[in-house]
Structure 1
Amino acid sequence: MDTPDAPGRLLDTGSSEPLHLQLRGHLRAQILNHSLPPGTSLPSEAQLQVRYGVSRSVVRQALGALADEGLIERGRGRGSTVAPRQEHHRLVHRTSGLSAQLGSAGANVGTEVLSLTLQDADASTAVLGTPQVLALERLRTADGEPIAVIHTWLPVPVFADLTAESLRDASLHAVLGEQFGVQITSGKRQIRAVPGDQDLLRLLKLEASSPVLLLEGTSFDQDGRPVEVFSTWHHPDHVVFDIDIQREPAVQTSAGGPPSSSAVDAPDAVADRARRLGADLLRFADGLSNAER
């Protein structure tokens, strides 16, 4: 991947897109994909002029746009540096929801209920085991910025008394515990990068064709019953997925024989989840890289 101070592709002078927008987009992509991590000094205006074959006014327009987005910091006499990222971290291997995790980290979390409707179950919600489901759509913010759109399906009649008012600026998992005595204790999760549709991009305040981070899963209660199917689309610039990795226990073997069945069949659950999530994140990184292109 080329960097601004190394030989690479030039801007397309024959394009209908203005050169300053092309330059801004090129630098912006490298900042967002961490080719230019926070704290990195950008080349000087003169170096960018030479590198891209453009005028000083083009460079200044591009850098000004990046500064307006908060992606770079400009200082008189010290050039431009990549600004610290305003990121929120989510531990995807834990059962606690996004609201609880962000709140415990000190963020001011808000939740707007977009819709709450009764629907017939389909193939995607059949695991809940009920003919009808409660379909919930929410927009979550952190410190005033939209960070996630959440679609959740819950079994009916178990949660038929759930109301939109009880979920405004609240954690769904907390409400399920307080009102229904349901505790989320386990679940299955998948992560992938997907293109955002028009409505999703509008809610998250993203540009057209931007990729988003999709976390899908099913959650189970303290009795092992499926109580939630969800899809959460995260803002790719504001949310980072974290995974705690633990070393796998050594495989026990019997004297002179193969590994015992108990050692093979009972791997450490946390390490196994982390390994699968790590593989998913590698696929996500490839998908995000392709989407950026």
Structure 2
Amino acid sequence: MTEPDDPRERPLDAGSSEPLHLQLRGHLRAQILNHSLPPGTSLPSEAQLQVRYGVSRSVVRQALGALTDEGLIERGRGRGSTVAPRREHHRLVHRTSGLSAQLGSTGASVGTEVLSLTVQDADASTAVLGTPQVLALERLRTADGVPIAVIHTWLPAPVFSALDAESLRDASLHAVLGEQFGVQIASGKRQIRAVPGDGDLLRLLHLEASSPVLLLEGTSFDQDGRPVEVFSTWHHPDHVVFDIDIQREPVAQVSAGSPASSAAVDTPEVVADRARRLGAELLRFADGLSTTER
């Protein structure tokens, strides 16, 4: 954090109806959550915060106390306050495995509550499933007892009409589809965006009003390429991190002698072909020398 050059640039407003200690707590909290102050960072001393924000020592102590109660900072006598390490759950969004399976593989205790399971008419968003009616499933997922995701899933109703809420409680949907119906998720399409959360969503995820959430939407296909599910999953922004593995794109094949060939990285097959052609040219050149000598 840098100290404002002008007191008017300070983020606290003495004329606001919100108490100064809540304003200071919110300002520091935002910097912690957006990683401007990453875990392990030492906060300025109480005296420095007083000067920086133009507030009393009691205001600073109230704000730091609230952040400590939230588990966002750690305070120790003689060592000041530091940003606490955070328990983040990482989701590999480029994998076909679902959130439950990925969290379980890390040792987290995963829970799933079925909020509703109903049959609905298909609409434009679920038309890809190819059935006039769909099974609409809403779930709340927790990790180590903390709500981290609200999941809405739509399935082809005729195919999965035998699916019941009890079999999905504290279970992975993909695992249930494999065990009960022989369906394996083999591929899919995914989209990620940040969106504002509505009242019900924020309540389920224990988030404050106007908090943004991370939305992952997509369609999944089975081993035969048939669409199996359409889903929307809203993730808690403080507890879930999306990981994406990246790889260098394969170099496009170009013909020998083309302008782009010198910039391309040759594959072993291309190198071998060039070696064979070079060998043939050397043989022809050697034959020519022999004829000239004769």
CA gap of 1:86–1:6, structure 2 versus 1, over 3 A, is: farther
Superposition pairs of residues 79-94 of structure 1, within 5 angstroms: 79-94=80-95
TM-score, normalised on structure 2?
0.86
Superposition pairs of residues 129-148 of structure 1, within 5 angstroms: 129-148=130-149
- Please give the secondary structure, in 2, of the residue aligned with 1:122: coil
C-alpha distance in structure 2 between counterparts of 1:73 and 1:29, whole Å = 16
Q: From the CA coordinates, give the structure whose radius of gyration is larger.
A: 2
Unaligned 5+ residue runs, structure 2?
265-294
C-alpha distance in structure 2 between counterparts of 1:246 and 1:256, whole Å = 28
Kept after mapping to 2: 8 A contact 1:4/1:43: no
TM-score, normalised on structure 1?
0.86
Kept after mapping to 2: 8 A contact 1:251/1:259: no
Look up the match of 1:162. Answer: 163
Look up the match of 1:221. Answer: 222
Deviation of the 1:156 alpha carbon: 1.5
CA gap of 1:6–1:82, structure 2 versus 1, over 3 A, is: farther
C-alpha distance in structure 1 between counterparts of 2:28 and 2:75, whole Å = 15
Q: Comparing 6-15 with 179-188, which one deviates more in the overlay?
A: 6-15
The AA in structure 1 aligned to 2:35 is H
Look up the match of 1:105. Answer: 106
C-alpha distance in structure 2 between counterparts of 1:246 and 1:36, whole Å = 30
- Please give the secondary structure, in 1, of the residue aligned with 2:153: strand
Unaligned 5+ residue runs, structure 1?
264-293
Kept after mapping to 1: 8 A contact 2:11/2:27: no
Look up the match of 1:49. Answer: 50
- Please give the secondary structure, in 2, of the residue aligned with 1:194: strand
Deviation of the 1:259 alpha carbon: 7.3
Deviation of the 1:26 alpha carbon: 0.4
C-alpha distance in structure 1 between counterparts of 2:87 and 2:72, whole Å = 10
The AA in structure 1 aligned to 2:197 is G
Deviation of the 1:6 alpha carbon: 5.4
Identity %: 90
Deviation of the 1:252 alpha carbon: 1.7
Instruction: Encode CA deviations 1:70-111: one digit per residue, 9 max, x unaligned.
Output: 000000110000000110000000000000000000000000
C-alpha distance in structure 1 between counterparts of 2:163 and 2:3, whole Å = 56
Deviation of the 1:10 alpha carbon: 3.6
C-alpha distance in structure 2 between counterparts of 1:47 and 1:249, whole Å = 53
The AA in structure 2 aligned to 1:201 is L
Corresponding position: 1:12 with 2:35: no
What is the RMSD of the two structures over their aligned residues, measured on CA atoms? 1.4
Look up the match of 1:195. Answer: 196
Corresponding position: 1:204 with 2:189: no
Instruction: Encode CA deviations 1:165-214: one digit per residue, 9 max, x unaligned.
Output: 00000000000000000000100000000000000000000000000000
- Please give the secondary structure, in 2, of the residue aligned with 1:46: helix
- Please give the secondary structure, in 2, of the residue aligned with 1:60: helix
Q: Which runs of 4+ in 1 moved over 2 A?
A: 4-10, 256-260
Look up the match of 1:272. Answer: none
C-alpha distance in structure 1 between counterparts of 2:239 and 2:131, whole Å = 36
Aligned residues between the structures: 259
Deviation of the 1:120 alpha carbon: 0.1
Instruction: Encode CA deviations 1:27-64: one digit per residue, 9 max, x unaligned.
Output: 00000000000000000000000000000000000000
C-alpha distance in structure 2 between counterparts of 1:121 and 1:63, whole Å = 51
C-alpha distance in structure 1 between counterparts of 2:178 and 2:259, whole Å = 45
The AA in structure 2 aligned to 1:217 is G
C-alpha distance in structure 2 between counterparts of 1:10 and 1:87, whole Å = 29
- Please give the secondary structure, in 1, of the residue aligned with 2:241: strand
